[in-house]
Amino acid sequence: MTEASVNVAPAERPVSRTLNYEKILNSIFWITSFSGSVVFIEPSPYDFFILLTMIVWFLGGLRVLRGVMPGLVLLTLWTLGGYISLIPYWNEKDPVEFMTHTLFISTTGVFYMLFFSENTSKRVGLLMSGYAASCILASLIAIGSWWGLFGDPMTWTDWGRAKAPFKDPNVLGSYMVPGLLYFTQRLLLARTRFLVVTIVGLLLCSTALFISFSRGAWAAAAFALLLLAVFSTATADSHKMRFRVLFSMIVIVVGMGVGVVAVLSDASVREFFLKRAATTQEYDEGPTGRFGNQLRSIPMLLERPNGFGPLRFRLIFGIEPHNSYVNAFASNGWLGGFAFLGLTTATIFVGVRQCLKSNPFIRESQLIAPALFSYFLQGLQIDLDHWRFFWIFYGAAWGLEAARKNWISSQARAGSTESQP
């Protein structure tokens, strides 16, 4: 090195103009995660951004880790079963569009598996921060519209139930669950950075969840929070941390309870709440109600290996199945039905293992798994197979599993190298 080169001032050094591919990909992906709550228009902004994200990611090359294979195969079989069941109805517009949407969301599920299997902590962090920000946006819109701040509430609500910026109050409520978990975990783990945003986000998500008046979403949130508390307590690093987790969870639950009591002080809200909180509604009961139709469909599906075909359940019974497991057999035949049962069972197995066994991604898993498990539970009373965010968390669970297995393999290789003479 010459003396002249040593004395070159920093300002005179050439500046690299090379684009940072990973930064571009991460930025687009965060915007994709943030856009997920605006789906009252079709196609939604999310549909555009997820396609852009997949294209940019694909240009950087892809690698398929063995850990994703069970989830990938089961998802493929579920989709294939639907197309086999579609064969008699290829000339009908609605079933074809239904399966086109199924193929699209299945593709996003595969993308998320592969995407999260690498740079896992960073990418899950981007997912959850973008998703949580979208929950704040959706909550502000939902609360404002429910209170009539944006004009006639009837155009933004569904018979007194907040739904904006979604088309269905049940979807709004369920969408809030991962956001609720994200803000709760930050408090449980004493992550005090942006504490005010965390507390405000928790309050907004809780409020939007409540005013959706969705029984399924309420149950899903309670179940997911319970799982988060159990997993966090079981894997606490010390007695002090375990106490903090339990104490924080009690404070959060009590705070939510106080908030609910305050809202129920309004007589009209209290009356509507008690009506929605009933175990069953009028449309659930009787042989032609929701549960009656499901029971009547089972003997019929046992005789039909290809099911009824996509969207045929509604033509037979005059109503949607409102059960994702029944719908899997009805729309995707035996192949798709058993594949959906298989992906549910397998994902629960690997998810529990991720949350309880020591690995570098355990805190990320303790967010993803409870959210996903709550959706599996909701599948018993709602059709969620076309929910975009359901497949985000399904893909993330298998991406985390691949990353965990890859980490175990690297640990084994390192140990083998150290043991050699």
Query: What is the rounded end-to-end Cα distance, in angstroms, of the chain?
Result: 41
What is the b/e burial string over 370-390, where b = at least 16 CB atoms within 10 angstroms of the residue's CB? bbbbbbbebbebbbbbebbbb
Q: Rounded to whole angstroms, what are the CA distances from 396 to 237, 350, 364, 405?
A: 25, 12, 10, 14
Q: Which helix (H) or strand (E) holds 90?
A: none
Q: How far apart are CA 70 and CA 344, in angstroms?
A: 11
Identify which of 348, 282, 294 has the alpha carbon closest to the alpha carbon of residue 319: 294
Average pLDDT, the chain: 90
What is the b/e burial string over 159-185, where b = at least 16 CB atoms within 10 angstroms of the residue's CB? ebbbbbbbebbbbbbbbbbbbbbbbbb
Tokens of 116: 């999260």
pLDDT digits (tens, 9 = 90+) for 84-131: 999 999 999 999 999 999 999 999 999 999 999 999 999 999 999 999
Q: List the domain boundaries for the chain.
A: 20-62, 69-394
Where is average pLDDT lowest: 7-16, 214-223, 288-297, 336-345?
7-16
pLDDT of residue 42: 82
Burial of 73 (0-12, 13-18, 19+ CB in 10 A): middle
**Contact partners, residue 228, CB within 8 Å, separation at least 6:** 181, 184, 185, 188, 366, 367, 370
For residues 407 and 382, the answer to whether their CB atoms sit within 8 Å is no
Q: How far apart are CA 247 and CA 21, in angstroms?
A: 43
Identify which of 161, 187, 156, 159 has the alpha carbon closest to the alpha carbon of residue 174: 161
pLDDT digits (tens, 9 = 90+) for 259-290: 888 888 888 888 888 888 776 666 666 676 77
Q: Which of 155 and 403 is assigned the larger pLDDT?
A: 403
Give the other-Cβ count within 10 Å of 52's Cβ.
14
Residue 16 pLDDT class (50, 70, 90 cuts): very low
Q: Which of 370 and 414 is assigned the larger pLDDT?
A: 370
DSSP 154-205: GGTEETTEE-TTSS-HHHHHHHHHHHHHHHHHHHHTT--TTHHHHHHHHHHH
Residue 421 pLDDT class (50, 70, 90 cuts): low
Q: Which helix (H) or strand (E) holds 12?
A: none
Residue 68 has pLDDT above 80, yes or no: yes
Where is average pLDDT lowest: 37-41, 151-155, 274-278, 291-295?
151-155
For residues 51 and 43, the answer to whether their CB atoms sit within 8 Å is no
In this prediction the pTM is: 0.91
Residue 287 φ then ψ, to 5°: -65, -25
Residue 38 pLDDT class (50, 70, 90 cuts): confident
Name residue 162's beta-bridge partners: 157
| Sign of the Cα pseudo-torsion (139, 144, 150, 155, in order) | positive
Alpha-carbon 281 to chain mean position: 27
Where is average pLDDT lowest: 117-131, 294-308, 403-417?
403-417
Tokens of 108: 């996003």
